[in-house]
Structure 1
């Protein structure tokens, strides 16, 4: 917040879920867990309640936590009646509460609510937890996409429960890409409750347990028949059911009455009613097997049940549906996967006869749950907080003080009332303030994440002079930036750099970032290099070419590489990734798609599992490329080859251009760079951050950016390296090495640190 600029602070979090905390279900447990996680991660957390509290079983434990405040709009008289707030009411109340004492982040759950908040002063500070979204492409209509795009634009962070949900959202709604981070369910064991030892139920009643809401697709009514069906197999069993939320389903009007009757009268069913979460988990710990068997139409769900993780943390194995998500969590050979009622009865019967099966299932569940503890969740959130709210730097604050003093010393004198001349300000009286950073350019797409980072720093204040086009800008706005800023960054060494070099104030620092595009244009030769403090290049090779081309002093040129958002890209690979090659961007022809085809063709001579995935706009989508005869001829030859080559048939897949690169890279095991030349080539670095192995052709300067182990002389050598890596079982080792390398050299945190030093004036050539 502006009133705390330059000071280390404990972030203030406002939390609201469109959930009733009187009822125990997954969404209510989310609200409780989120507050606990934020408090553990170092936030001051304020939880706003949707409905009046009738039972404190979920809220009372939160009131006792240090740094946590619970507010009830109903008790405060903001909302009348005894019903929960509507999304519209909640948006008004949250805005009012924030206005009293502004918060740094506003964590909300509920799509309709987030849509309302997108049009309030809370926009830009929202950390939106997304679950109630369409979970198939067919259900994603234009309205849903538009709403989620507005929510994404208004959100600083989008919290996703699973990797599957994150990848789906990024593919369906491009605006979410780069903002989605994982926040899996949180499992908190009550005090005094420890995981049980896996003891198979031999010679006694098999105790089954279900906790949560009672609804048709959750198969809760069908579960009440299990004790009777198991008795027919000679297995004595009882089913313990915990919860008091019975759904009224419009598609099945008789369900609620039927469910209640079964809970009260079915053979072997013990209905415990609603209980605090701690007591529900104690009941679970006293049972042998948890039930999370659901209707098959829920197999496509992108959400993960908290209940199966709670059971795992308690050492209680779970019967659940076989889905790709569950296979990734428990392993494809987990023994308690089911698809039908018969499967459930078979699995439960097997447990009683085979103790080894029971022990294996319990151990798999316990291992899976280990990544979902309160400490693990707090560490995840703390990492996001650290990146979103970086600590102020004394170096930056010192640079800001020096700039303020220099400005004060240069301030013209004013005439006092008595006619005597006095200085408007003295150097010692310069105001204490953040470093003022101006960013100017016509196209900031390569600077966006850095710009977000700079704006988030409490020791910097950032203003942007967005030029309408390469040579078009608002001169008055640019002059205002000159008057205000301590340091100006020109993104691209174009007309913007020429203008600011001519108009900068004395003592004002000017940084110019030069890309490959401008190096061979006329602007660098026109630039008054004496007015520029540093020219920033992204690689040593292009720094050398810049010196040779312009004749500028080496002291003027500094290398700060392109950033790689390593945390966003580091995601689990999909099955078969080690046989998948990827190339990002195939236009213009110097990207050399033809050489990538040489590589995959060579590999497919021995193994048809090798496939090339191309993520790119197609060349005819670039008018300036397609109007050139030599470019058209190149691509016509390439695509004719793909159609006619027996080895390439079925071996090349074209995926649409888009921002969902992180999700796309989950299927890629090797990323190719076959270009004739590059200034940096971000694609291999992004591949490395994703856990793929880079395969780089030896274009000029490649060895100044990438380790020699990844660089090869030609397409046959590239293919041989890939084949040897897979055949020798080295892919896992190589990809881990690649990921570690790129994180140290080009990770976003490292590049942001270097830009911070550059802006503070301490990074030299």
Structure 2
């Protein structure tokens, strides 16, 4: 970031009531302030209590906007803002002082702001109230989420599981989703050591009171524990009691239980710091909920808050909790997570000090990864990527550098284009050719006359056209991949008009020079980019034994050799499987029209059907942009092609800590470390089988380090930027 950014934060939440969503608004503003942003927090409702707002007073660059008190909407009086009204208020604030990013929470709210159209490309949407399973992700829900993803600069996801679900079902979200887990402030007071529990033993719950959160059954815990000879009391903090249509009597029953149940001490609504003080003086936190919530993809803030205070937590055994705390965490509620099961878990915590200590240490270690400072660091990193600093050569220019980009297929430039558009001082326009040799000549002429620099993707007809229509004083950059060298276009280019030809590997740079006779000074190498941050995600259990292939068409990709590797592995261990992520070859007309291509795939598919070693071991996954989430299941990525210019698939696998395995196609050893290259499928299978669990993890870590150093998006974008701005 080369300048101070202006952020607006608005959540469709009432900050008078303490719950997770209200705390999110407070902590987001705190983190943005620490990250160096000028931040305006816009309130939904009139202020009745300053508990959550007071901690923001005096923070650098923070302003609290009170639309109701400031009469920003005529006739609003003292009613909370609706999504429509909130969108109007935000638009008015932006008109007076434009923001660089608008951070929003609440699906209905974000949908309204997107529909109004003012903030496209500036929205950072925090989505939790979305379908959290495949069964719930209806076509209607996808249709609502797609424009939200399209209009957002970033989508903030609380957990990896939520990010993967969103990317799988909403392709528009791919590449925009970043992790934004809950943040817990560092306690501003000495935290007790908790060496010896209180007598009575103190349980604590903080947050909202709702049926699914088991807050009404919790009030029975002191009496039920007493029946087991355990003296205990329950301390509760919060003032938000849900109105639940399916439990019409809940609100009144909950209020009575908090007010008059023996052994329950209700502290009411408290500022977050005071709530933490109360909890810190207790012995055990409660995060036990109804089993219906076990499939939730959200992260429980209670675990983190209690963990930061050194408290162990009783909670349900769920996949998310096991990923966070480990399958051997000792204070999961057993059985069906009913009231008796919760009493059993709590009684064990009371009686077994070693169990209590182990659970407390585990919760404390987890909470240390989710501090407010860690959140600020994440924000700073994301903002630096979204708002990169302008290169000095551009900053010194009297007007923006005009960059035109032309070509029929820009898929290998997508994230680079995002970077170019984000750079201050660059003005980027696109001439998108609808086919390899078809374009709007008038639009192309206009771009050629306008641009200071023209980048042509693929050394094809577009490169030929722009080399013959170059404006004097402009520069022309052409990128060559592989297939172009087998055609006549490189020789048809006016090479004198081309300033630089970019090749993605040294091997193809040499081939281009040999094939064309171009001056060596005009050819340079910049590798393909890999979004290492997006791809760097934890592997799921069993990934070590899953091979992956990305793209199997045309036949030179050699799926048959990948099957050789799989058969060799499964001859000794049936745990090995192969996942293929690709369009089927018959969806490419230029492939399927060739008899030799059809014959190849007919043989391959018959082999999969008839080979005993391949029975049930090959999965064809849908082609799509959700490669990052797909790679979580893949521990080894194969490259068995006859030839490639670069082959992005093994590099993407490496970024995910998958082990790459390549056959020695020409030039492979000039891109990838020779340790990953094997003479034949049998050698490849032997190498993968011989790694073992520890060796596989070590190899994956090495691969991830290598791809970050060589092909990371940041490094490649820097090389491209230097080329664009140089003379």
TM-score by length of 1: 0.93
Judge which range, 316-325 or 457-466, deviates more: 457-466
- Maintained 8 Å contact 1:11/1:42: yes
The answer on 1:285 being equivalent to 2:270 is no
Q: For residues 164 and 94 of structure 1, what CA distance do their matches in structure 2 show?
A: 31
Decide which moves more: 743-752 or 553-562: 553-562
* Secondary structure class of the residue paired with 1:118: helix
Q: CA deviation at 1:479?
A: 2.5
Is the Cα–Cα contact under 8 Å of residues 200 and 352 in structure 1 kept in the other structure? Answer: no
Is 2:71–2:77's contact at 8 Å kept on the other side of the alignment? no
In the TM superposition, what is the alpha-carbon distance from 1:108 to its structure 2 partner? 0.5
Alignment equivalent of 2:352, drawn from 345, 354, 375: 354
The alignment partner of 2:575 has SS state of coil
Q: How does 1:60-459 map to 2 (within 5 A)?
A: 60-79=54-73, 80-119=76-115, 120-191=117-188, 193-201=189-197, 204-338=199-333, 339-397=337-395, 401=397, 432-459=398-425
Note the C-alpha offset of 1:319.
0.6
Conserved? CA contact 2:505–2:645, under 8 Å: yes
Q: 2:602 and 2:464 mapped to 1: Cα distance?
A: 41
Q: Does 1:15 align with 2:9?
A: yes
Residue 534 of structure 1 contacts residue 558 of structure 1 at CA under 8 Å; is this kept in 2? yes
Q: Deviations over 1:655-694 (max 9, x none)?
A: 1111111001011111110111111000000000011110
**Aligned match of 2:559:** 593
Q: CA deviation at 1:190?
A: 4.1
Partner of 2:25: 31
Deviation at 1:583, TM superposition (A): 0.8
1:576-725 matches, within 5 Å, as 576-725=542-691
* Partner Cα separation in structure 2 for residue 488 and residue 195 of structure 1: 61
State whether residues 46 and 68 of structure 2, in contact with CA within 8 Å, keep that contact through their aligned partners in structure 1.
yes
Mapped partners of 2:351, 2:288: distance in 1: 21
State how far apart, in whole Å, the 2-side matches of 1:525 and 1:195 are: 74
Aligned partner of 1:50 in structure 2 is: 44
Q: How does 1:541-560 map to 2 (within 5 A)?
A: 541-560=507-526
| 1:478 counterpart = 2:476 | no
Partner Cα distance (2:485, 2:93) in 1: 52
After TM superposition, the score normalised by the length of structure 2 is 0.97
SS at 1:270 equivalent: strand
The answer as to whether partners of 1:562 and 1:682 remain within 8 angstroms in 2 is yes
Which runs of 5 or more residues in structure 2 are unaligned? Answer: none
RMSD of Structure 2 on Structure 1 (CA)? 1.3
Shift of the alpha carbon at 1:224?
0.8
After superposing the two structures, state which structure 1 stretch, 574-583 or 529-538, moved more.
Answer: 574-583
Whether 1:490 aligns to 2:456 is yes
Q: CA deviation at 1:441?
A: 1.6
Within the alignment, does 1:743 sit opposite 2:705 as a pair? no
For structure 1, the residue ranges without an aligned partner over 5 or more in a row are: 1-6, 402-431
Runs of 4+ in 1 over 4 A off after TM superposition: none
Residue-by-residue CA offset, 1:251-270 (whole Å, 9 max, x unaligned) = 11111111111111222111
Q: Is the 8 A contact 1:148 1:173 kept in 2?
A: yes
Counterparts of 1:644 and 1:482 in 2: how far apart (Å)? 56
Q: In the TM superposition, what is the alpha-carbon distance from 1:197 to its structure 2 partner?
A: 2.2
Contact 2:578 2:619 (8 Å CA) reproduced? yes
C-alpha contact (below 8 Å) 2:331/2:349 kept by paired residues = no
- Residue 383 of structure 1: how far off its partner (Å): 0.8
Give the superposition deviation at 1:742: 0.2
In 1, the alpha carbon distance for the partners of 2:548 and 2:196 equals 48
What is the number of residues matched between the two proteins?
721
8 A Cα contact 1:512 1:534, kept in partner: yes
1-side partners of 2:475 and 2:593: how far apart?
A: 42
Which SS does the other structure have where 1:712 is aligned? coil
Secondary structure of 1:356's aligned partner: helix
Contact 1:437 1:489 in 2 (8 A): yes
For the 8 Å contact 1:562–1:680, the answer to whether it is kept is: yes
| Alignment partner of 1:464 is 2:442 | no
Post-superposition offset of 1:627 = 2.5
